[in-house]
Amino acid sequence: MKFGVITFPGSNCDMDMIYVLQDILGNEVENLWHKDHDLKGVDAVVLPGGFSYGDYLRSGAIANFSPVMKEVIEHANKGRYVFGVCNGFQVLCESGLLPGALLHNDNQKFICKNIYLKPESSSAAISKHLDPNKAYKIPIAHGEGRFYADADTIKSLNDNDQVLFRYCDENGNVTPEANPNGSLENIAGVTNTGKNVFGMMPHPERASDNVLGNEDGRALFESWLELV
């Protein structure tokens, strides 16, 4: 699969994502710029984490108006893959490609630590090959990661198997205590109805290299690539 990783002004996880996709997993990767009008024939677009445009106005709000987003939206609407992590997830929600919004953490603090995720969707490529009984240890680093949507949207996400991951404890129990930011129903990631657009707050690219002592994040990419 050929991936395109977008760099916005303020992105800081773009090179981490490129390293994992290219050097760890052996895929071809294009580094896309936010002003590009050409996705260079990629199969999948990745919006990395960071602080696009300094998170001014609202996280992801200004990046949504970058020229490249017109191409990303067209790419997604054709049923092709788009993946947003952390700030990238925020951008996808701002663009309307994913439902819901990411609000300030309920403790009003920036949170940077390892958490655990329980795979939920059995039909989305990024989670369907994961062990639903395993708690995956993945880092988070965000100040606005509290997933919110109205009651009808939450019901639709649950009914259509669109919840990718929920925050859980190390034993896989989804509890209020395991929720780091106050997200509704412990939701850590969602997909669209077509199951081709993924968004999540935790950073799997930061847990994909054995040098770091944690490869749980690599399993998510391998599920997507159907290597597991």
Q: How far apart are the first and last CA of the chain?
A: 15
Closest CA to 144 of 50, 208, 48, 15: 50
Task: Report helix angle 87-95 to 67-77, nearest 10.
Answer: 70
| Beta strand 197-200 pairing with 146-148 | unpaired
Active site residue 203: yes
Round to whole Å and give the CA distance between 102 and 91: 10
Round to whole Å and give the CA distance between 100 and 190: 9
Residue tagged active-site, from 34, 75, 142, 203: 203
The CA distances from residue 218 to 17, 19, 73, 177, in Å, are 11, 12, 26, 26
Round to whole Å and give the CA distance between 156 and 142: 26
Residue tagged active-site, from 13, 86, 93, 168: 86
Catalytic residues: 86, 203, 205
